[in-house]
Amino acid sequence: MPEELRLFIPRPEDGWFYVQMMTDPETMAYNAPWFPPDGCIPEPESEWERLQRGWIGKEPERFYAFLQRKSDGAFVGV
């Protein structure tokens, strides 16, 4: 049975998950051609601030959310 997920609309203090993902070489390996050597975003904290200004709370023009597993509340993606 597939895991049930929900959308989690992040608040400014929830940026730790975004930063964690953007600095994880395994997660970001697909991005390596654009951000050598490992694909990690070089300044994830400032990128998170940019996302907050440009995307979060900008519905219906833009939408940004984390995917969260319902069973344990773990974040699994953006």
pLDDT in tens, 21-75: 999 999 999 999 999 999 999 999 999 999 889 998 899 999 999 999 999 999 8
Does 67 fall in a domain? Answer: no
Does 5 fall in a domain? Answer: no
Domain count, the chain: 1
Does 75 fall in a domain? Answer: no
Contact 3, 69 (CB under 8 A): yes
Does 49 fall in a domain? Answer: yes
The parent domain of residue 52 ranges over 21-62
Does 3 fall in a domain? Answer: no
Residue 76 pLDDT: 86
Q: Calculate mean pLDDT across residues 5-31.
A: 92
Angle at 68 between CA 64 and CA 72, to 5 degrees: 160
Does 10 fall in a domain? Answer: no
Is 80 exceeded by the pLDDT of residue 78?
no
Q: Name the band, by pLDDT with cuts 50, 70 and 90, for residue 2.
A: low
Q: How many residues does the chain have?
A: 78
Residue 1 pLDDT: 47
